[in-house]
Amino acid sequence: MDVVNPATGARVETYDDHDEDDVEAALDRSEQAFKDWQTRPLREREQLLANAAEVLRENKQEYAETMTREMGKPISQAVGEVEKCAWVCEHYAEHASAYLEADHHPSPPGSEVKTEHEPLGTVLAVMPWNFPLWQVFRFAAPYLTAGNVGILKHASNVPGCALAIEEVFQKAGYPDDVFQSLLIPSDLVDNLLTDSRVRAATLTGSGPAGRAVAANAGDQLKKTVLELGGSDPFVVLDDADLSAAAETGAWARNLNGGQSCIAAKRFIVHTDVYDEFLGSLTDEMDSLVVGDPANEETDIGPQAREDLMETLHEQVTASVEAGATLVTGGEPLDREGAFYPPTILTDPPEGCPVDTEETFGPVATVYEVDDEESAITKANDTPFGLGASVWTQDRDRGERVASRIDAGCVYVNQLVKSDPRVPFGGVKDSGYGRELSEAGIKEFVNRKTVWIE
């Protein structure tokens, strides 16, 4: 696997792939590791996870620089990502025992009935490049602590991140092979899914990848959790705080170079405040610094790969040709690297790419609507259902509108985000299952009913 720095286009490192024999050996080791790991006291597993948080914080600059080098994340955001990984480890180190405590049920006199939560075994994780540490730790922290073991198939452009994650668990004192990273091409994933030693799978990625994993795992009757794409609406009602909405909206669209499933992508704005909000949003996006991701002052680095930037630009170009209005941005920057500027399109014709497809980059689409009802209809006019953001100074109104939006999570007067304390996941084409919080740690356990007479 060649690592190409997207800020320069230069190859910076090469890693040897694992082959089918390596996969077979890893599965054997994983199965053996599970036999011991599942018997370890939960308190011991919690302590090891707390150790992992310490390793992450002690080495946060090193891990952040690996992310920046491999996929172009601005260094300040990369450091923040490592800190968030430490947070999720600390969360489950503190709360796993409470989350996994047996549930007791009504039963006849003299009997006891409870539900225990037992691990399943080896969990395969197929993870993307956009949050190369966070996406992994939000699965690994709960699933490993529940007593499962993990095998990671990471995106091929972030092999250094994959090996760094494996290193974190090693340094934290985890037993050998409780967590393994395999540097394999996508065509070997099917072999893993169909192997009887893999008991469950989780994927964060594209819709087609999710469907393929779900189909293969379903054929084997294996549990899956899928977190797929999103085209999140950002609804600005007529009584919104426009300054706050524009400032947060610009960041919600452009964080991580806009390469986020839960980024604000479709801005749906009430006609009474449309012009003012559009002007403020444009000013905010134009003020963002695009540049060297190794520079602390940079807000937006390069797109993760040249081909991804080209696809994004094709979506913008086709939409403008179909009749959308280009307000700002819209052309790759004339410089070395895969840099694309913050871009705003308005009046997108129905059916054009930015209207119907997920745009995975710093491109905002702005719609004008006449009233609250039209805003809700437009927000739901998408096959995706990951997140949504609603802006109004009336909290009751915000809650009412939020209840009518088809999404896995809706934030009122806040950007959409994942937080260890609350469940995260989508509906419709955005996938199924939940990560994080109590719901996340219970996705891959056997909820065993035990009746004691």
Given the residues 85, 161, 261, 409, the one annotated as active site:
261
**Catalytic: 261?**
yes
C-alpha–C-alpha distance, residues 25 and 316, integer Å: 46
Given the residues 90, 166, 227, 357, the one annotated as active site:
227
Strand stretches in 238-291, DSSP E: 264-270
C-alpha–C-alpha distance, residues 436 and 140, integer Å: 10
Rounded to the nearest 10 degrees, how much is the dihedral formed by the CA atoms of 268, 271, 273, 279? 70
Q: For residue 332, what are the CA distances in angstroms to 102, 346, 353? A: 55, 19, 18
CB hemisphere CA count around 395 (13 angstroms): 0
**Catalytic: 306?**
no
- DSSP class of residue 41? -
Residue 8's contacts (CB-CB under 8 Å, 6 or more residues apart) are 336, 337
Q: Can you count the helices (H) and strands (E) in the chain?
A: 15, 20
- Bridge partners, 126 (sequence order): 153, 203
Q: For residue 157, what are the CA distances in angstroms to 14, 32, 181, 415, 432? A: 10, 30, 14, 28, 26
CB 148 within 8 A of CB 119: yes
* Phi, psi dihedral angles at 400 (to 5 degrees): -65, -45
| Edge-to-edge order in the sheet of strand 112-119 | 103-105, 112-119, 445-452
Taking the chain, what is the end-to-end CA distance rounded to the nearest angstrom? 58
At residue 156's C-alpha, the angle toward residues 155 and 158, to 5°, is 75
C-alpha–C-alpha distance, residues 92 and 77, integer Å: 23
Tokens of 20: 């089918």
C-alpha–C-alpha distance, residues 310 and 201, integer Å: 31
Q: What share of the chain is helix, strand, coil (3-state, %, to 5)?
A: 45, 20, 35
C-alpha–C-alpha distance, residues 411 and 298, integer Å: 27
CB 275 within 8 A of CB 283: no
Looking at the annotation, which residues are catalytic? Answer: 227, 261
